[in-house]
Chain A
Amino acid sequence: MRVENGNNFQLYIFNFQTEYDYRRLVIYGKTQLILDQNYESYGISDFVSDDDFLRHHLFPTEASTIHWNAWLSRHPHKKEEWEQASKLLEAVRLGLSDYARTYLSEEAENQLLRRILETNALLTREAGPSPVRQLRSRWISYAGVAAAVALIIAGWAVFDKSRPHADRYRQLTESHAGLLDEKINTGSEPITVLLPDSSSVNLSPGSRISFSKSYGTAERVVYLSGGAEFDVTRNPAAPFLVYANEIVTRVLGTRFTVTAFESDRDITVRVATGKVSVYRNGALTGTEGKKGVQQELVLIPNQQAVFVKAVELFSKSLVPEPEVVIPSKKTQPSFVYNETPAGDVFADLQDAYGIEIVYDAEALSSCQLTASLSEESFEEKLDIICKSISAAHQVVDARIIITAKGCK
């Protein structure tokens, strides 16, 4: 990303900034004081190797800009070297950009995370009361660890199959007192199932859903195995509960999707409109009544909860393709901007998609945007805005963090 700075030099900022860097940026902006040390003897390479020089170029603040401008006006004969140093720094970072751009795909990242969490869970289970000691002996050789893990995974698979409650759905429906209606989609296209209260369910192929004959009197309970999109009629008096494998999704009236195939590693709940809460089914995960282990996630539109079965852990994230979810009272913004302050643009996005966007208003106060973004997806909008104001963005826990240096 190309960034223009007040002194007519240019430098490259890579997308490597983490939230951690963002925090540092803020801290520097408030507290970093640069000592006027003796740069008199500095050559070009000394500047490039200098902490304050580097920090100013990576995370310029008002204080650092004032400092260097003042220093340069007091030492005009050093100006050329200083500017050459800026160019050299830019070149070095440019030369390192293939390194900075070495990325794992998000899928590979998540896959590795799952593997790590599974190993942790399996080793804990395997090691019993003193996992640490067991692990240390295993840590001796890499081959040893790999072999041990492979063994446990093999053992786990056998163990898992032999567990009496492998079929969560059957377990759930059998435990239900009273008669159930069941719909099974054996076809290749989704089918629509209408519930007694006229809530509708779009049932995916290979999925089944059950609901009580007495559905709708006090609670509206359905049991799901597989995938389904729900459009729930609003009725605050009768909460709508979806039991799907190990988790329960509770709603008052909304549109959302649950994907819970018995054979999948994860269960996903995605929200299109309204608000739902998702929690573990304590009776199935063995956490019933235990204090502090009940984890409940509240989801708003464009958020999803993913439940990793192996570790019985939820994580909240953004759905892959967020959609505009403007409340009916407001009109949708045009997304056409003409020298609009960047803060207003982000506020539009935040309102329209219901996704929290975190940014440093001070840093963005100098940034304006002229663009027409009505056709672009959420991701594309975000990309274009960030490129044009020299900012970076990343998703942390279902919100967008904007890292900006400001514009001048």
Chain B
Amino acid sequence: MDGTLSEQELWIAFRQGEEEAYTILYKRHIKAMYRYGMSLVPVSEDFVLDCIHDVFTEIWFKRERLTTPDNVRHYLLKSLKNRILHLLKRKERPSQSLSQDDFDDLWPEPSAEEIFLEKESSANNEALVRKLIIQLPHRQQEALRLRFVENLDYGQIADMLSVNRQSAQNLVFRAVDKLRKWLL
């Protein structure tokens, strides 16, 4: 099948039962799904692979009832996250009473001293920023990955994180602003 088909054309072909289109969609998105899945559940590769398997199997059997998403990457990442959360449900979301933004603020920030030590001990810039990013609240980290690697827009990030658009924008801004203070 032609490699120049757009995502939407492929999706439509897949919904009509074209296994080749389905295979191409898999190949185009497996890398992003894998790394995103692993960032959510880093402890178990097998679990992530099972979830990706389930997402693809499920869309194959539901294909006739699916609509065509604006952004296939977004749709697949969202489906993967749903699948993962569904299977981990009992452990997830311990405190519904706190809003997510409150929760982020409870996250302990590293002190200026700790930052200084990180800067001293990091071999290079990449290692330093990586260490600083993992100091951020998990949701801010996730928002950064979706924004700067998966290239989703704020509306799509909001959907992934179950918040409104403004909150998604705030998450990214707060993460970026913290990194700015630490780095520049």
Mark out the residues of chain B between 77 and 136 whose CB falls within 8 Å of any chain A CB in the assembled complex: 86-87, 125-126, 128-130, 132-133
Closest to B55 in A: A116
Determine the interface band of chain A, counting residues with CB < 8 A from chain B: 35 or more
Contact A44 B172 (CB under 8 A): no
A93: interface (CB < 8 Å): yes
Q: Is the CB of B3 within 8 A of A399?
A: yes
Task: Check if B3 sits within 8 Å of A45, measured CB to CB.
Answer: no
Q: Would you call B145 an interface residue if the criterion is a C-beta within 8 Å of the partner chain's C-beta atoms? A: yes
Q: Which of A156-195 contact B (CB under 8 A)?
A: none
User: Is A18's beta carbon under 8 Å from chain B?
Assistant: yes
**A88, B61: Cβ atoms under 8 Å?**
no
Q: Is the interface of B mostly helix, strand, loop or mixed?
A: helix
A1 within 8 A of B: no
Residues of A209-228 at the interface with B, using a CB-CB cut-off of 8 Å, are none
Does A100 belong to the interface (CB within 8 Å)? yes
Q: Which residues of chain B come closer than 8 Å to A19, judged between CB atoms?
A: 3, 28
* Residues of the A chain whose Cβ atoms lie less than 8 Å from the Cβ of B24: 396-397
CB distance from B24 to the nearest CB of A (A): 7
Contact with A along B129-163 (1 / 0, CB 8 A): 11011000000000011011111011000000000
Q: Is the CB of B28 within 8 A of A104?
A: no
What's the nearest-Cβ distance from chain B to residue A408, in Å? 23
Q: Which residue of A lies closest to B62 (CB)?
A: A132
B130, A98: Cβ atoms closer than 8 Å: yes
Pick the most buried of B87, B176, B177: most chain A CB atoms within 10 A of its CB. B176
Please give the distance in Å from B71's CB to the nearest CB on chain A: 9
Nearest CB in chain B to that of A396: its residue: B3
Residues 296-314 of A contacting B (Cβ, < 8 Å): 311, 313
Given A88-B180, A397-B2, A313-B149 contact (CB < 8 Å): no
A109–B132 CB distance below 8 A: no
**A117 interfacial by beta-carbon distance below 8 Å:** yes
A258 to chain B, nearest CB (A): 22
List B contacts of A119 (CB < 8 A). 53, 57
Q: How far is the CA of A218 from the CA of B48 in the complex (A)?
A: 55
List, in ascending order, chain B residues with CB within 8 A of A112's CB. Answer: 30, 49, 52-53
Please report the C-alpha to C-alpha distance between residue A257 and residue B1 in the assembled complex, in whole angstroms: 23
A54 touches B148 (CB 8 A): yes
B177 in complex: contacting residue of A45, A103, A120, CB < 8 Å: A45
CA–CA, A20 and B150, complex, Å: 11
State whether the Cβ of B41 lies closer than 8 Å to any Cβ in chain A. Answer: no
Q: Is the CB of B53 within 8 A of A116?
A: yes
Interface presence of A51 (CB below 8 A): yes
Chain A 6-21, CB within 8 Å of chain B: the 1/0 string?
A: 0000000010101111
Nearest Cβ in chain A — how far from B155, in angstroms?
11
Interfacial chain B residues near A139, Cβ < 8 Å: 58
Is A332 at the interface (CB under 8 A from chain B)?
Answer: no
Cβ–Cβ contact B73 & A95, under 8 A: no
Q: Which residue of B lies closest to A51 (CB)?
A: B153
Q: Which residues of A contact B72 (CB under 8 A)?
A: 20
Q: With A116-B53, A132-B62 in contact, do A401 and B176 touch (Cβ < 8 Å)?
A: no
Q: Can you spell out 11 A-B residue pairs with CB atoms less than 8 angstroms apart? A: A44-B184, A94-B129, A95-B129, A104-B31, A109-B30, A115-B53, A116-B53, A123-B57, A146-B50, A315-B23, A397-B3
Known A117-B19, A120-B61, A132-B64; 19 more pairs at CB < 8 Å:
A16-B32, A20-B72, A20-B73, A49-B172, A88-B179, A89-B148, A92-B129, A96-B149, A99-B145, A109-B30, A112-B30, A113-B23, A115-B53, A117-B23, A132-B61, A132-B62, A313-B20, A396-B28, A397-B1
